[in-house]
Amino acid sequence: MATDETPAPADLLPGLRTSVTSLLASAAALGDEDVRAPSLLPGWSRAHVLTHVARSADSRSRLLAAARTGADVPQYTDEAHREREIEEGAGRSAAALTEDLATALRRFLRAAAEHPEDGWDVPVRWLGGGMRPVRGAVASMLREVEVHHTDLRTGHRPADWPPAFVDRELPSTVEELAGRVDAPSMVLLVGGGGATYVIGDGRGPRVTGSGAELLGWLTGRTGGEGAAVDPPGPLPALPTWRS
């Protein structure tokens, strides 16, 4: 979600380029059988994930174009449109999937690099989020690339997520979780003297881990391995996170 605290897009672009290069290398190593294998996301193959990231990039390129031209072009027509594009694209060969992904991501990177500096606060129509500044396109694209790279199950783990990305995403993820009625009560502590986050009434267990460990667990990308619970016992049961 784009907010007033979203970092300047120009500051995020170098990191996004690095993340895109890493994702494309993982995608290029997948063969036709590999892309049919399950991803970390229930019901989605790796091909679904690759298609989703490509269409996510295209959707953000549309938002950038809308901001530049003043046209009221939505990110997607609706959720059904988004889901249909993913299903229709997931049946392609590994080579076609990788080429599409590379083309879409590089097109977005080019559009973001060329976007006028005074055009980042132009409101555009985000899917499910109404009119919000287009500056959120770069930060949210980085999130798509890093998290869905992990979903491919090619060895890219939350521990590999860039520290600056983790530091930015963990507070917003905690805030979103805390706003849910089905969130468990607990206290999260980032190891090494990091931040403390209270969810619910704070009477639940204290969960301690690195920022990456906590973010990976909260977003359903790990089972919380590496996190410590006090008092000892199982980690709190989390609601299903958005994909």
Q: How far is CA 21 from CA 176, 190, 207, 227, in A?
A: 29, 29, 34, 30
The pLDDT assigned to 6 comes to 67
CB atoms within 10 A of CB 235: 17
Q: How confident is the model at residue 1 (pLDDT cuts 50, 70, 90)?
A: very low
pLDDT digits (tens, 9 = 90+) for 58-110: 999 999 999 999 999 999 988 999 999 999 999 999 999 999 999 999 999 99
For residues 130-158, b (16+ Cβ closer than 10 Å) or e, as one string?
eebbbbbbbbbbbbbbbbbbbbbbbebeb
What is the model's pLDDT at position 31? 98
Measured N-to-C along each axis, helices 163-178 and 136-151 cross at an angle, to the nearest 10 degrees, of 90
Q: Could you give the CA distance from residue 45 to residue 97 in angstroms, rounded to a whole number? A: 12
Distances in Å between the Cα of 213 and the Cα atoms of 16, 195, 217, 224 are: 21, 14, 6, 7
- pLDDT of 202 reads 86
Q: What is the mean pLDDT of the chain?
A: 94
Give the start-end residues of each E strand in 60-195: 123-126, 130-133, 186-190
**Torsion sign over Cα 156, 18, 28, 100:** positive
pTM: 0.93
Q: What are residue 230's phi and psi, to 5 degrees?
A: -135, 120
Determine the Cα–Cα distance for residues 88 and 82; give it in Å rounded to an integer. 10
Question: Does the pLDDT of residue 128 top 90, yes or no?
Answer: no
CATH topology of domain 163-230: Nonspecific Lipid-transfer Protein; Chain A (3.30.1050)
Pairing relation of β-strands 186-190 and 196-199? antiparallel
pLDDT of residue 2: 37
Count of Cβ atoms closer than 10 Å to residue 201 Cβ:
8
**Residues 214 and 207 sit within 8 Å (Cβ to Cβ):** yes
**Torsion sign (Cα): 45, 98, 146, 176:** negative
Answer whether 161's CB lies under 8 Å from 214's CB.
no
Position 193 scores a pLDDT of: 86
Q: State mean pLDDT over 210-239.
A: 95
Q: Looking at the chain, which residues constitute the CATH 3.30.1050.20 domain(s)?
A: 163-230
Higher pLDDT pick, 240 / 206: 206
Statement: 9-156 belongs to CATH 1.20.120.450 = yes
pLDDT of residue 192: 83
Q: Quote the pLDDT of residue 5.
A: 58
* Residue 123 pLDDT > 80: yes
Q: Where in the chain is the domain with CATH 1.20.120.450?
A: 9-156
Q: pLDDT digits over 2-47, tens only?
A: 344 568 999 999 999 999 999 999 999 999 999 999 999 999 999 9
The structure tokens 């530091």 sit at: 167
Q: What percent of the chain has pLDDT over 90?
A: 91
